[in-house]
Amino acid sequence: MIAAQQVAKAAADGYTVLITTNTTHAANEHLYRKLPYDPVKSFAPITGLGKGGQVLVVPAGAPYQNVGQLLAYAKANPGKLSFGSGSSSSRVAGEMLKQLAHVDILHVPYKSNPLAITDLLGGQINLMITDVSTGVPQIKAGKLRALGYSTQKRSPQLPDVPTLNEAGVKGYDMGYWFAAYAPAGTPAAVVGRLNQLLGAAVKSPAAQSFFDMSGSEPWTSTPQELAKFQASETKKWGQVIKAAGIEPE
């Protein structure tokens, strides 16, 4: 939010660009009563940069071998299970699971996903839906068990893990994305040039190394496509947050 506020106030000359995520540009307007920027009016969309998903994990010693078993226990024991989250993506992903699977699972907030993972490993919470870069090392070390992936397509890093949609939570699709924005009022020619440069950069070996490491994938767009995508994501996040009864801070 601090970065978004600074870029919103910056000179619209193309020399200041915000690399940000769905948190500032789709979720925050539903999570806070007052923002120091307008996610739409304060910015000129440039291009999408990447997309990724999250993974539903439980401790390796948990009795649930798959999503079906986990949800069956949750339905038979309302309020007994808890999920942690250390980001808006993780929180909303958990709330969407509750809504689509019709289960009652207690939410426990954390300041970051790694902090939530620590408590998950220690048995203080039962499950979480976390970003791949946080979850995969613990999965590969045999400390966590991956039950499902959050987007409609399986993760290349976890090809044997079914999507939550495949695992029976029909319609589940909650990923994260990151994109580039300039301050509102940046000339169209400058936005166009930045779109070209960032589009080329996304294809570089250094960028590919980042995508491989983080479990995300490249995604580029025109400024107009990014604006349209942002609007649809804002609507989707708003619906889940409202249905979850999350009160804006």
Q: What's the CATH code of the domain at 107?
A: 3.40.190.10
DSSP one-letter string for the chain: -HHHHHHHHS-SSSS--EEEEHIIIIIHHHH-S--SS-TTTTEEEEEEEEEE-EEEEEETTSS--SHHHHHHHHHHSTTT-EEEESSHHHHHHHHHHHHHHT---EEEE-SSHHHHHHHHHHTSSSEEEEEHHHHHHHHHTTSEEEEEESSSS--TTSTTSPBTTTTT-TT----EEEEEEEETT--HHHHHHHHHHHHHHTTSHHHHHHHHHHTEEE----HHHHHHHHHHHHHHHHHHHHHTTPPP-
Residues 58 and 14 both lie in one domain: no
Structure tokens given for 37: 């920027």
Structure tokens given for 153: 């397509």
At residue 215 the predicted structure's pLDDT band, cuts being 50, 70 and 90, is confident
* Amino acid type, 227: A
Q: Which range marks the domain in which residue 81 is found?
A: 54-149
Residue 80 lies in a domain: yes
Residue 159 lies in a domain: no
Residues 142 and 63 both lie in one domain: yes
Residue 160 lies in a domain: no
Residues 129 and 142 both lie in one domain: yes
Residues 144 and 206 both lie in one domain: no
* Domains of the chain: total: 2
Residue with tokens 């870029």: 7
Residues 79 and 109 both lie in one domain: yes
- Is pLDDT at 214 greater than 90 in this prediction? no
At residue 228 the predicted structure's pLDDT band, cuts being 50, 70 and 90, is very high
Across the beta sheet with 127-131, the strand order is 106-109, 82-85, 127-131, 54-59, 144-149
Residues 37 and 98 both lie in one domain: no
State how far the Cα of 97 lies from the Cα of 94, in Å rounded to an integer. Answer: 5
Residue 161 lies in a domain: no
Residue 157 lies in a domain: no
Residues 145 and 225 both lie in one domain: no
Residue 132 lies in a domain: yes
Q: In this predicted model, what pLDDT tens digit does every residue of 55-99 receive, in sequence order?
A: 999 999 999 999 999 999 999 999 999 999 998 889 999 999 999
Residues 86 and 142 both lie in one domain: yes
Domain boundary pick from 114, 149, 184:
149
Nearest to 234 by CA among 68, 9, 57, 30: 30
Residue 170 lies in a domain: no
Q: In this predicted model, what pLDDT tens digit does every residue of 107-153 receive, in sequence order?
A: 999 999 999 999 999 999 999 999 998 999 999 999 999 999 999 99
CATH value at residue 194? 3.40.190.150
